[in-house]
Amino acid sequence: MEDPATLDALRVQLAPAIADAAAFDGWSREAVAHAAAAAGVDGDLAAFAFRDGPMAMIAAWIGHVDAQMASAVPAESLSGLSVRERIRRLVMARLDAVAGREEALTRALSIMALPRNLAASTRLGWRSADAMWRLAGDTATDYNHYTKRTILAGIYAATLHVFARDKSEGKAETRAFLNRRIEGIIRFEKAKTQMLRAPDEHFSVTRLLGRLRYPAR
């Protein structure tokens, strides 16, 4: 039996080359074979590492992007920055990591959108959002932990779609789109904080229902 740790390392090693080949061959066995040949890796071993098909290849590429992001924007480099700027830099680092591979990205997004892959795609999106929030210094453990990641995963996915087809100079359209969406996150978080800050100062459904049932005399 092959060592899973060794196979994981092999997947990470081959992921960028598979993405390059996917622009021409799709996320396919041919792309894996080309990547293995270019890296001097045994073709049969590479095929075995990606025996689960396109989603395994895409997951490995996303893992590579996670690593590139963490290397380009380490947590200590974000100290002192606003939350919006931390998230913006982290998302841009991910986009920089896939720049030049827009065709492979477009094909990957199409595969991830297939009904049979939605659950796996959701997990991958959550993993990416979690990696970003952790680097940004988020330590929430309550429901905020989940809402932040769910919202960021959705924004990141939408930004990838814009990025994949953006022909503007310096990806200006993508940057503008991302900035608008991040501002939306910040507004939502501020509104949520105000709603939860002092419950007695805000509208209470429970209190209203109580008054309807037991009207004041």
pLDDT-derived band at 192, boundaries 50, 70, 90: low
pLDDT at 142: 81
Given this model, what pLDDT does residue 1 score? 47
- Which of 63, 30, 64, 62 lies closest to 47, judged by CA? 30
pLDDT of residue 199: 53
pLDDT digits (tens, 9 = 90+) for 87-110: 999 999 999 999 999 999 999 999
pLDDT confidence of residue 193: 61
pLDDT in tens, 22-71: 999 999 999 999 999 999 999 999 999 999 999 999 999 999 999 999 99
Mean pLDDT of 73-82: 95
Report the distance separating Cα 31 and Cα 28, nearest Å.
5
**26, 69 Cβ separation under 8 angstroms:** no
Q: Angle 85-87-93 (CA atoms, 0-180°, nearest 5)? A: 100
Which of 165, 133, 166 has its CA nearest to residue 149?
133
pTM, two decimal places? 0.84
Q: How far apart are CA 135 and CA 77, in angstroms?
A: 10
Give residue 6's pLDDT: 87
User: Cβ(88)–Cβ(159) under 8 Å?
Assistant: no
Strand blocks (E) in 121-166: none
213 has a pLDDT exceeding 80:
no
Which residues make Cβ contacts (< 8 Å) with residue 100, sequence separation at least 6?
none
Report how far apart, in Å, the C-alpha atoms of 36 and of each of 10, 31, 63, 131, 155 are. 10, 9, 18, 28, 34
Convert the pLDDT of each residue in 135-182 to its tens digit.
999 988 888 889 889 999 999 999 999 999 999 999 999 999 999 988
At 190 the pLDDT is 66
**Which residues have C-beta within 8 Å of that of residue 187, sequence separation ≥ 6?**
none
Mean pLDDT computed over every residue of the chain: 88
What is the predicted pLDDT for the residue at 204? 55
Whether 209 has a pLDDT exceeding 60, the answer reads no
